Every structure is written in structure tokens, then in C-alpha cells.
Amino acid sequence: MSRDMPLSTSIVIGWYFGIDWRRMDIEKVIKHFGGVKSLCRILNVYAQSIYQWKERGIPLARQYEIEQLSKGKFVADRSHLNQEVIRKYLS
């Protein structure tokens, strides 16, 4: 992607390829990994944590871990990064 491309265009391209750049959907993550028990085992967390993520969202560190484990199917929220860093990541 071109560095001159607006970030919103990058989000649209992400949407086209099925990537949610803004928020990782815990329900889709649970389904992908085969259920809550399986996800707990993979991430080494208690089920309570998973259920709390449904209300509060997935912690950023766990999002990056899920991104790696899913081989990019789910993408961690990078809205906290400055736009120049995001553009470099997308290019």
C-alpha cells in the first residue's frame, strides 16, 4: 500500500479482506479456537477472564497474542499508535 493512502482507505481494505482493524470480536475468537475451554488452555487464563473480556474488551497484550496464534486472522487494535506508524505497518 502507498504511504499516501489515507488510513480510512486502509481500514476499508482491511474490511474487504475480513480483518477488523478496530476491535477484536471475542465471540469470533472463541469460535475460531474451539470454545472457551480451548481458548483458556491456549492462552493459559481462567474462564472468568474470557467472560470479562466480553464486557470490557480483550486486553491489548492478549490481542497481540491472539493475532500471532491465529496467524493474522484476528488483528490487534492499533488505534493507540500514531498514524505514521500505522501507515508504515500497512505499507
Q: What is the largest CA-CA distance in the chain?
A: 44
Give per-residue pLDDT as tens, 59-83: 888 998 999 999 989 888 776 666 6
Burial of 12 (0-12, 13-18, 19+ CB in 10 A): exposed
Q: Which CATH architecture has domain 7-90?
A: Orthogonal Bundle (1.10)
Measured distance CA(7)–CA(23) in Å, rounded = 16
Number of residues assigned to the chain:
91
The overall pTM is greater than 0.85: no
